Structure 1
Amino acid sequence: MLPSQLLRIRTRKGEIFPLFCGEEDKSRHLELAKIIINEFQESAANKEKKKILNERISFLESHFDDYRLVRGLSTLLERRCQFNTTISQRDENCGISVNPIDIRRFLWEESARRGFALTESLRDEILCDVASKMNISSTSIMQSLWSDLDENMVIELFSPVGSEELLAWYNLSLLQTLLFTCTRLEFSVRGGANWKNILRNVKRLGLMYNLREQTNADESADARNVHGGKSRHADLKNNGGHDSKLVCSIDGPVSLFKLTDRYGTSIAKLVPFIVSSSWWYISASIIRKTMSGKKIYEFRISSSDVQKNILSEPLRNDKNNNSINSNSINSNSINTGRSTPSYFDSSIEEKFAIKFEHLANRWKIKREPDPLIVGKGVAFIPDFLFEKYGRKVYLEIVGFWTKEYLEKKFQKVSEILLNSNVDLFVAVDEELSCSKPFNPSIYGISKNRIIFFRKSLVPIKKLQEYLKSIDKEQIDANMFDSDLKIRFDGTKDVISIEEISDSYKVPIEIATAVASRDNEVDYLRIDSWFVSKAKANTVAERLTGAMKFSEACVILSENSIPEICHAGLISKLGYDVIWQSMDSDDALLVKRN
């Protein structure tokens, strides 16, 4: 975050926009960033005082048309510097360490005893007396007298950063500074992992938040209200095919009665977590002082409005970082402490996901989906989502638990089930119980929705049976749907079920069932393919006299029958395959009576 006086913005028709670097005149901004970085590197190499560096930066300000930009970039680079804050210096003549604070105290005491030093001779006498008492030279006293002031500190170390990284860091800091004075903040991201990370930090930072679901219609209305009927953001017109999205609302620091600076800093610390998501959206009301008094401006920005990596924090160079004491970094520097989490929170989840994918039957499994909203705007993020036919089934896996923890967890589950039409299962590790179990039925939760497991292995039978029941329900419903017909025109002898599914925009199971119903007279279903009976008859004629399975496979391949269908079609045509060994060339073809 930057000091508020360095905020660069423009306003228009009730809206406010930060002036990001790199969007326009990028080459000029990159050149400026490079020059400022070089100034810091040169000062660090020469161990110069801070006031000399400040003079160089002031010179750049006078030759660049935007002093706020120059000063903002240099402010950020100062946070990558280590200044010599040691207030003890050694007298070169006597080899004695001297403290500027002690020197000033002795001088003021001696001056107070003698009276004001109104002449040079009296001043020199006081210096000599103090130097004699401290056993150092008068020259050392003058050199050390104000050596602990900020402008006299020496740059000991500078952790360099690239020009583009500096501009991206500046843009992020500009956004943080703008949101520091917001009266409200709303944001949205996608993906349960992103939400979990952000909400964890919302709570850690002590921010007051509320969650709600927003539809595309709500977004469009909001956009028209702000932009006079035309949406500025592509995401507001089409939310990537999503019918709705989860929005988190946070009370802004200006809406509070006290602790506004501290609260505003907490909001600024949250911003990097939001913009690090692949898709994000921010809306805020910003209060600004104008000539006519305070005025509220609307601010909106999304990931589609800015170039990739234009808002990010630089990484520290490990070599330099090891040498820099974290206490020496400017206290205004915001340390988000972000790290890249592993894909699974535990080996239990990983084992379950691998096992389920082998038996998924085309149900899509998603790790940490978008949160479910519990009562009072609180989020609940299940571990897994299973999706098919537009139906969603969730699973939450509970590791270590106490009776109180499960009661709290099932209270959330109960609120979700009561307030929304959500399919949710909860898996509980019996071996990791820290107290006696309790009866979930008191919360209106069926035992069929509870999966107990041991040895870190979550059984999938109960969940799989439920998903299969949904498959059957969907297939039965479509089998009796007179409006859904899949009739082949006879131009193709071999048709894949996947091709049918894509063509008719229906799931594979439904495509298989309906196509079998509507084409049973003219086609045979072999595994995941349909083969016309005319083609099957042609193959049957050519198989007459074939003695080996390998010969039959050659005939089928010549007739464009997929290899995966060979064994199935041969069986449908009344043949058995007798295996003599593991070698398919030895397998015999025998006609059934």
Structure 2
Amino acid sequence: MLPTELLMFKVKAGLVEPRRLKPTPSHLTLVTALVNVFESHLNDKRFQLEEDFRALEVGRSDYRVVRGLAHLLANDNAEFETGGTLEPSFVREKVFELAQGAPHSRARTKHVLEEASRTLSLDSPEETLDLLYADLNDQQRLVSFEPPDPVSLLQRFDLAQAQGMLYRAFSLTITAHRNEPARYKQLLKYTKLFGLMVTVEGDADIGFTLTMDGPTSLFSGTTRYGLALAKFLPALLHVTKWDLSAAVKPRKDLSWTDPNDEEWSFQLTSEDGYVSHYKEPKDHDSALESGFAERFEKLETLWTLEREVDLVPVPGGVIIPDFRLLHEDGRSVLVEIVGYWRPEYLKKKFDLLRKSGRTDVIVAVSERLNLEKAGVKTTDFGERVLFFKGVLNPKTVLELAETVGRPGG
């Protein structure tokens, strides 16, 4: 992401809009120039690159674009390392020890460096001096660089600007409409990964509303939660149809913003054309699920198998079934495959299924799992629990679906 000082945006009637870069010849030429700086400075120190970056800024009013693109290249495409064979902190300790108590002079400095070189078995006083602060950011050396596609870098810049709008967000509301293929499971995994508090309402027909609330007061610290929301945004881009609305704490440190603004709003939709740099989610989470789907495709049946199309809100959490079966006559059945063995996981999974109150969920459980040891009782689910050994037979699931499917989807 980008540091706050490199964010560019405008505010109109309380609506904040981030800066975006079009792939114009001017912007593409700038990307090429920045890439050339990195490629020409392999094994050089970071401050040497930054000197060339500053030269590129001369005469440009959009210097923050230059710095922003350079920042992304340095973080995403380059690798910097502390040079030398010894830890700089160890070298500093020895040099300061030798210099202690002696009056400072050029001759004394030369003597200390020479003595430190011999003591540390280094080749020269120059190497000792080079190591002295080699761990500082501007002294680190560029050891590798992978140039990106220029258009991809501009897209990454746009996304980083959008992420920056969420740094000061204290609540976020997402309407995720029905998706094909669905990406809900990855979405919920990322909310957990980044410690976001989520409330889910709705259904597959009207869309799901995910509300993520941070600190309750505009005057409390929001930065940490806002950073989590910013990291979450690229995951949302893998959901194919959604709307986002964020409440943002205004920037009072900028002279051009309205000091009377109490809240800004940041709006995005899946139609805005942002591109995620997170990896695409896998079609299936396990071999059990992929194998079941492959075997199902070979059947001739009036049932259709859909992948993760429903979120099921329940008190204390959300269920994301692995599959949904749809019959031509409108009946539907959710299928949850339980093949993971950890007792805590099993207990939570069945607790959520029980709280959901749904009677149209088939729970397929591997016989390898020790439900008794996990403290799980399946009596509440009656005939909707299906135990399988080895692989899950879709014919068996369809037989059960005929009895538990509910009309109307």
Distance 1:107 1:6, change over 3 A: farther
Q: In structure 1, how many angstroms separate the alpha carbons of the residues matched to 2:89 and 2:334?
A: 69
SS at match of 1:201: helix
SS at match of 1:33: helix
Unaligned runs of 5+ in 1: 90-96, 118-122, 215-241, 314-335, 475-593
For the pair 1:268 / 2:230, whether they are aligned, the reply is: yes
Q: In structure 2, how many angstroms separate the alpha carbons of the residues matched to 1:192 and 1:182?
A: 29
Q: Mapping of 1:103-502 within 5 angstroms?
A: 104-106=95-97, 108-109=99-100, 112-114=101-103, 117=104, 123-131=105-113, 133-134=115-116, 135=118, 148-189=135-176, 190=179, 193-213=182-202, 243-252=205-214, 260-290=222-252, 291=255, 292=259, 295-306=262-273, 310-313=274-277, 338=279, 340-343=281-284, 345-347=286-288, 350-351=291-292, 354-355=295-296, 358-361=299-302, 363-376=303-316, 378-387=317-326, 388-400=328-340, 408-417=348-357, 423-435=360-372, 440-441=378-379, 443=380, 445=381, 447-458=382-393, 459-460=396-397, 462-466=399-403
Structure 1 residue aligned with 2:38: 40
Q: Is the Cα contact below 8 Å between 2:35 and 2:147 reproduced in 1? A: yes
Shift of 1:304: 1.0
Shift of 1:19: 0.9
Q: Per-residue displacement from partner, 1:508-535 (whole Å, max 9, x unpaired)?
A: xxxxxxxxxxxxxxxxxxxxxxxxxxxx
Shift of 1:294: 6.2
Q: Per-residue displacement from partner, 1:11-57 (whole Å, max 9, x unpaired)?
A: 111101111112xx63322221121111111122xx33322221211
Q: In structure 2, how many angstroms separate the alpha carbons of the residues matched to 1:197 and 1:408?
A: 18
Q: In structure 1, how many angstroms separate the alpha carbons of the residues matched to 2:390 and 2:114?
A: 79
Unaligned runs of 5+ in 2: none
Shift of 1:342: 4.4
Shift of 1:301: 0.9
Shift of 1:257: 8.7
State the AA in 2 paired with 1:393: V
Shift of 1:265: 3.0
Q: Per-residue displacement from partner, 1:479-515 (whole Å, max 9, x unpaired)?
A: xxxxxxxxxxxxxxxxxxxxxxxxxxxxxxxxxxxxx
Q: In structure 1, how many angstroms separate the alpha carbons of the residues matched to 2:53 and 2:35?
A: 11
Shift of 1:262: 3.9
- Comparing 293-302 with 186-195, greater Cα deviation is found at 186-195
TM-score, with length taken from structure 1: 0.58
State the AA in 1 paired with 2:275: L
Distance 1:413 1:2, change over 3 A: same
Structure that is richer in helix per residue: 1
Q: In structure 1, how many angstroms separate the alpha carbons of the residues matched to 2:17 and 2:265?
A: 9
Q: In structure 2, how many angstroms separate the alpha carbons of the residues matched to 1:267 and 1:278?
A: 19
Q: In structure 2, how many angstroms separate the alpha carbons of the residues matched to 1:280 and 1:201?
A: 16
TM-score, with length taken from structure 2: 0.81
User: What is the identity percentage for the equivalent residue pairs of Structure 1 and Structure 2?
Assistant: 27
Q: Mapping of 1:53-132 within 5 angstroms?
A: 53-79=49-75, 80-86=77-83, 101-102=92-93, 104-106=95-97, 108-109=99-100, 112-114=101-103, 117=104, 123-131=105-113
Q: Is the Cα contact below 8 Å between 1:103 and 1:145 reproduced in 2? A: no
Q: Is the Cα contact below 8 Å between 2:82 and 2:139 reproduced in 1? A: no
Distance 1:455 1:82, change over 3 A: closer
Shift of 1:140: 6.0
Shift of 1:70: 0.7
Q: Is the Cα contact below 8 Å between 1:88 and 1:98 reproduced in 2? A: no
Q: In structure 1, how many angstroms separate the alpha carbons of the residues matched to 2:398 and 2:321?
A: 19
Structure with higher Rg: it is 1
Root-mean-square deviation (CA, aligned residues, Å) is 3.6
- Comparing 386-395 with 67-76, greater Cα deviation is found at 386-395
Structure number with greater CO (CA < 8 Å, separation at least 6) is 2
Q: Is the Cα contact below 8 Å between 2:360 and 2:404 reproduced in 1? A: no
SS at match of 1:179: coil
Shift of 1:211: 0.8
SS at match of 1:20: coil
Shift of 1:408: 4.4
SS at match of 1:288: coil
Structure 1 residue aligned with 2:27: 29
Distance 1:64 1:253, change over 3 A: farther
